[in-house]
């Protein structure tokens, strides 16, 4: 520990900290532009000046100055104030006075700090410098004349996102942030917008839509992947304008993926806003009562011959309500693994990301099986990259479809047979894994969503056991879910059996199911619904809605209070930002009304009651924001592996759910990425 005096007050801090960090710890605010806790130190904006004694007579940049024993730090004095004023004046020399038309206005570091630390007028009579715009793709709008060259975006791209196409060219007055005039090849590119302290990089999709003080801010949880990123939904006049990350050190740090941030325009398109019934082959809008009565009648006839398939973004409450409804009819046919993933949903240690995100940094060897963390969980991939860049992660091996993860990965094979060899223990790679101190395995949906998914899952468990990935204080077995609803469905017993959804689909095809409830699911083989009376509870008019017999419009994730459990088993709650369009309702409300119509009303009447009975049944879900854990048990049993390769099931990161598929922004991203990939191909050739 080092003792320093900050503005006359004694403060103890850890060795190796910078003066700025020490001041921050002591609760003293230091203005800054280029410094950012999660990026390397650049020290080029000179805003964080402090006076150090003993030391040189002039003020020093505190962000790049290591703390020393007995330092006396002055953070406010007339001379410092005038020094900061001087820095501010220089920063503003070439900065345009276009705040009234700048999207950053109201949330601009430069604006705020100019007010707090700046000079109240300009003495610069010469012409200001102007700079041409740079192309960064469909998400990031650039107005480079506003740039103050803090290089946060360059450092973020290099260090966190692993993209090396942004740089700072030139020198002195001519310096410019530049791209290679191509789309940023990253799933995290939107974060440069938050990082930019000025209005140089702003969000293209929400440009000129609202001022930051006009929007209503609601805390919620992202459902585009299974990370459960903490988000803030900004809405105005009942429309979601944009989505920003919220800081959560253990989940998403302060990043979110581009899909989480920009797919929100899909929430206003292709929406189902009233109930429909198919009459003479055509879907006809009807009042709620008529639709509910029809569904209730059909359900009463079907009794145990009801089944349910839930989608990728369902909240736990709706899943619970649906499960209760079906159980009330005596049916046990329900599942939320619409992609066909196979694993035992009763073995908690087998379906969680046991290591937890925060601890992946401790790992030193990693085996990826049929997953693409970069697309399945971009913020987790950023953590893995950090672990490789600054941490202990030295060896990364992959089995499955090879992809660029932004850190080196040795792709061993794409055939699952390689797992048998690894599990056999006679293998160089196995040696590396077993000799590592904290080895880790991530198995993903490309491997699990196969007919031999459960065998692969079993083999991964065997490898985890043999390579001592499960040890005292460390569990290196991880399943990386793709869907926000997956773990929740496992926890409340909505997922049943090793085989996943397959038996359910077979039953449907064989005619054993009369009424099929499909809740927000559009990504399974719809042919199997042909013989069922299909009730679609969902928010987007997509594939399933098109062939449903009854449509009950539900609320999307921004329109309901809900609970989601992320792939670590972290229970998190989000709040409704806007109301659902038209007559749409949160799915659990629809199911409650339906149960009432069936004459079997549940004991609960509101969300609070639902949650109380849910927690009574599943006490672990009562604790918010703490990853679930479970003692290790062996996973499944051996079986026959298929011969074919593990392939990437998703070919487009941007459009994976009804919301993102309806989003214009995501479709622009898709086009931009295709163009980028095809131009890379021609270059390589």
Least distance to another protein from the beta carbon of 166, Å? 7
Using CB under 8 A as the binding rule, whether residue 127 contacts another protein is answered as no
Told to check if 168 binds another protein by CB under 8 A, we report: yes
Reported in sequence order, the residue ranges of 170-328 that DSSP labels E, i.e. its strands, are 176-179, 201-203, 216-221, 230-236, 239-245, 276-279, 282-285, 306-310
Which one, 157 or 666, has the nearer CB to another protein?
Answer: 157
Stretch that binds another protein, among 162-170, 246-254, 372-380, 629-637 (CB under 8 A): 162-170
The residue (of 633 and 679) whose beta carbon lies closer to another protein is 679
Tokens representing residue 304 in the block: 């145990």
Determine whether 516 is exposed, middle or buried from the number of CB atoms within 10 Å of its CB (0-12, 13-18, 19+).
Answer: buried
What does each C-alpha distance from 404 to 161, 258, 364 come to in angstroms? 12, 17, 19
Nearest-approach distance from CB 405 to another protein, in angstroms: 16
> Out of 171, 213, 473, 616, which residue is the one contacting another protein (CB under 8 A)?
171
Q: For residue 218, state whether it binds another protein (rule: CB under 8 A).
A: no
Residue 287 is a binding residue for another protein (CB under 8 A):
no
Rg (CA), the chain: 27
Residue closer to another protein, measured from CB, 179 or 342:
179
Is residue 408 part of the contact set for another protein (CB under 8 A)?
Answer: no
Shortest gap between Cβ of 158 and another protein (angstroms)? Answer: 8
**Could you give the C-alpha distances from 457 to 80, 236, 498, 503, in angstroms and in order?**
61, 45, 10, 18
Bond before 128 cis per omega within 30 degrees? no
Stretch that binds another protein, among 177-185, 205-213, 556-564, 571-579 (CB under 8 A): 177-185
Question: Of the candidates 37, 174, 249, 472, which one interacts with another protein according to CB under 8 A?
Answer: 174
Helix (H) and strand (E) counts in the chain: 22, 28
Q: Is there binding between residue 207 and another protein (CB under 8 A)? A: no
Q: Is 477 exposed, middle or buried (0-12, 13-18, 19+ CB in 10 A)?
A: buried
Q: Which of 68, 170, 238, 511 binds another protein (CB under 8 A)?
A: 170
Type and span of the H or E element at 325: helix 316-328
Shortest CB 93 distance to another protein, Å: 18
User: Exactly one of 43, 86, 96, 167 binds another protein (CB under 8 A); which one?
Assistant: 167
> Do 520 and 319 contact (CB within 8 A), yes or no?
no
Stretch that binds another protein, among 179-187, 389-397, 423-431, 552-560 (CB under 8 A): 179-187
Residue 126 lies near another protein (rule: CB under 8 A)? no
* 70 lies in the site for another protein, by CB under 8 A: no
Of 144 and 403, the one with the shorter C-beta distance to another protein is: 144
Query: DSSP readout, 116-173?
Result: HHS-SS----SPPP--------SSEEE-GGG-----HHHHIIIIII----EEEES-GG
- The rounded distance, in Å, linking the Cα atoms of 293 and 310 is 22
Site size with another protein, rule: CB under 8 A:
16
Q: Which of 172-180, 341-349, 382-390, 651-659 is the region at the interface with another protein (rule: CB under 8 A)?
A: 172-180
Binding segment for another protein (CB under 8 A), chosen from 120-128, 170-178, 201-209, 449-457, is: 170-178
Look-up of token digits 């004349």: 145
Closest contact distance (angstroms) between CB of 160 and another protein is 15
- Contact between 145 and another protein by CB under 8 A: the answer reads no
Is residue 165 part of the contact set for another protein (CB under 8 A)? yes
Minimum CB distance to another protein, residue 175 (Å) = 8
In which element (H, E) is residue 106 found? none
Residue 41 vs 175, nearer CB to another protein: 175
> How far is residue 494 from each of residues 69, 500, 512, measured CA to CA in Å?
59, 11, 19
Q: Which of the ranges 165-173, 373-381, 498-506, 605-613 carries the binding residues for another protein, by CB under 8 A?
A: 165-173
CB 33 within 8 A of CB 45: yes
Q: Which of 115, 169, 631, 684 binds another protein (CB under 8 A)?
A: 169
Q: Is 684 in the site for another protein (CB under 8 A)?
A: no
- Residue 633 near residue 344 (C-beta atoms within 8 A): no
Nearer to another protein, 125 or 169 (CB): 169
Of the two residues 164 and 525, which places its CB atom closer to another protein in the complex?
164
Q: Which of 133, 164, 273, 327 binds another protein (CB under 8 A)?
A: 164
- Whether residue 167 contacts residue 212, with contact meaning beta carbons closer than 8 Å, is answered with no
Query: Is 258 strand, coil or helix?
Result: helix
Chain residues binding another protein by CB under 8 A are 164-171, 174-176, 178-181, 683
């Amino acid at each position: 520990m080092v003792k320093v005096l900050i503005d006359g007050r004694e403060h103890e801090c850890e060795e190796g900290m910078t003066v700025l960090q020490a001041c921050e710890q002591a609760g003293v605010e230091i203005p800054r532009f280029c410094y950012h806790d999660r990026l390397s130190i650049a020290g080029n904006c000179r805003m964080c000046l402090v006076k150090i004694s003993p030391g040189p007579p002039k003020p020093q940049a505190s962000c790049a100055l290591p703390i020393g024993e007995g330092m006396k730090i002055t953070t406010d004095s007339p001379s410092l104030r005038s020094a900061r004023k001087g820095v501010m004046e220089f920063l503003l020399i070439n900065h345009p006075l276009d705040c009234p038309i700048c999207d950053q206005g109201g949330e601009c570091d430069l604006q705020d700090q100019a007010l707090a630390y700046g000079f109240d007028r300009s003495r610069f009579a010469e012409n200001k410098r102007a700079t041409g715009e740079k192309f960064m793709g469909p998400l990031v709008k650039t107005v480079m004349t506003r740039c103050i060259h803090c290089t946060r975006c360059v450092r973020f791209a290099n260090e966190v996102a692993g993209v090396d196409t942004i740089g700072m060219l030139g020198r002195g007055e001519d310096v410019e942030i530049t791209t290679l005039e191509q789309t940023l090849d990253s799933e995290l590119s939107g974060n440069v917008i938050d990082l930019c302290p000025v209005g140089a990089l702003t969000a293209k999709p929400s440009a000129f839509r609202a001022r930051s003080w006009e929007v209503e801010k609601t805390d919620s949880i992202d459902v585009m992947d299974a990370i459960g990123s903490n988000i803030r939904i900004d809405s105005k006049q009942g429309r979601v304008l944009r989505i920003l990350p919220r800081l959560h050190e253990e989940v998403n740090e302060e990043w979110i993926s581009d899909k989480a941030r920009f797919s929100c325009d899909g929430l206003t398109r292709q929406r189902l806003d009233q109930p429909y019934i198919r009459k003479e082959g055509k879907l006809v809008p009807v009042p709620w009562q008529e639709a509910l009565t029809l569904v209730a009648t059909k359900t009463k006839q079907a009794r145990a011959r009801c089944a349910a398939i839930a989608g990728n973004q369902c909240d736990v409450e709706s899943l619970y309500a649906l499960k209760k409804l079906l159980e009330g009819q005596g049916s046990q046919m329900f599942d939320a693994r619409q992609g066909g993933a196979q694993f035992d949903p009763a073995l908690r240690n087998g379906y969680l990301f046991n290591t937890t995100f925060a601890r992946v940094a401790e790992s030193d060897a990693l085996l990826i099986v049929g997953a693409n963390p970069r697309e399945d969980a971009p913020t987790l991939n950023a953590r893995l990259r950090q672990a490789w860049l600054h941490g202990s992660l030295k060896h990364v091996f992959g089995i499955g479809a090879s992809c660029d993860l932004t850190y080196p990965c040795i792709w061993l094979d794409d055939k699952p047979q390689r797992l048998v060899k690894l599990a056999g223990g006679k293998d160089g790679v196995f040696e590396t894994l077993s000799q590592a101190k904290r080895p880790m395995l991530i198995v993903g949906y490309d491997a699990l969503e196969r007919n031999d998914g459960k065998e692969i899952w079993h083999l991964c468990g065997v490898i985890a056991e043999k390579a001592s990935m499960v040890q005292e204080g460390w569990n290196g077995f991880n399943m990386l879910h793709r869907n926000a609803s997956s773990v929740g469905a496992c926890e409340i017993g909505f997922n049943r059996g090793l085989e996943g959804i397959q038996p359910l689909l077979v039953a449907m095809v064989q005619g054993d199911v009369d009424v099929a409830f499909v809740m927000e699911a559009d990504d399974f083989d719809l042919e199997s619904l042909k013989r069922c009376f299909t009730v679609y509870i969902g928010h987007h008019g997509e594939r399933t809605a098109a062939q449903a017999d009854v449509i009950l419009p539900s609320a999307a994730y921004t329109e309901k209070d809900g609970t989601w459990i992320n792939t670590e088993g972290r229970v998190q709650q989000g709040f409704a930002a806007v109301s659902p369009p038209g007559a749409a309702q949160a799915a659990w409300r629809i199911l409650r009304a339906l149960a009432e119509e069936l004459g079997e009303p549940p004991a609960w009447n509101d969300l609070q009651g639902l949650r109380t009975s849910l927690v009574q049944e599943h006490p672990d879900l009562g604790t918010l924001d703490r990853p679930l854990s479970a003692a290790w048990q062996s996973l499944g049993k051996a079986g026959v592996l298929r011969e074919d390769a593990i392939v990437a099931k998703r070919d487009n990161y941007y459009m994976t759910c009804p919301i993102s598929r309806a989003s214009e922004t995501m479709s622009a991203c898709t086009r931009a990425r295709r163009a980028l990939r095809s131009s890379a191909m021609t270059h390589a050739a």
